[in-house]
Amino acid sequence: MSARMVLLGPPGAGKGTQAARIAERLSIPAISTGDIFRANVAGATELGLKAKEYMDKGEYVPDSVTNAMVADRLSAPDAATGFLLDGYPRTEAQVGELEAMLAASGLALDVVVEITAETEAVVERLLKRADEQGRADDTEPVIRHRLEVYAEQTAPLAALYEGKGLLVRVDGMGGIDEVTERIAQALAARGIAA
């Protein structure tokens, strides 16, 4: 099944887990910007070296570099019939850039899925994960700050996509299988089924 989609949701909402499951069901690649960055840096590509300069200073990689990496990844053969983007776009400017990238190939997004989750439940989930995985830097203040940054910068994209008629909201609370089924049902209602 062909589908071009974006997955939104706060940290701890289960995006990574659900992205992998949905992409597998639809036989499309799950593309995470974190993975793209790591692959470009590890491969010492021109874009990877540029990104590393910023990352080494603890700065955000500029949109120009991020956009170029995403465009390069979307041009790969496995993304020809569709993809699931996780972690991109993060800003309104990137929304426009993604639209332009796709339009250049006569394509457009099919759907944007926002996984919603209650703040306190997400904080609890991330603190538990930090404890289990020994992530000492994932303290409650850090987690709450990440959620605030998400609310400020990325959550407005949901409103933007809702205005374009592309947004589907799915409750991210509950068991992993339960959430996967909710997403599958929401996609099926849009004519996208595995």
pLDDT digits (tens, 9 = 90+) for 24-79: 999 999 999 888 888 888 999 998 898 888 878 777 788 899 999 999 999 999 99
In percent, the amount of the chain with pLDDT more than 70 equals 99
Task: Tell me if 61 is assigned to a ligand binding site.
Answer: yes
Residue-level pLDDT at 113:
97
* Sequence ranges of the domains in the chain: 4-190
Tell me which of 4, 15, 50, 182 is the catalytic residue: 15
Output the pTM of the full model. 0.89
CA count, 13 A, side-chain hemisphere, 14: 22
131, containing H or E segment: helix 119-133
Catalytic residue among 4, 50, 73, 90: 90
DSSP secondary structure letter of residue 116: E
Q: Is 144 annotated as a binding residue?
A: no
32 C-beta neighbours (distance < 10 Å), count: 20
* 129 given a catalytic annotation: yes
Query: Does the annotation flag 59 for ligand binding?
Result: yes
Sequence length of the chain is 194
Residue 137 has pLDDT above 80, yes or no: no
The answer to the question of whether 16 is labelled as a binding residue is yes
- 4-190 has which fold? Rossmann fold (3.40.50)
CA-nearest of 109, 100, 99, 90 to 157 is 90
CB 160 within 8 A of CB 95: yes
pLDDT tier, 1 (very low <50, low <70, confident <90, very high otherwise): low
Angle between helices 63-74 and 92-104 (to 10 degrees): 30
User: In sequence order, what are the beta bridge partners of 174?
Assistant: none
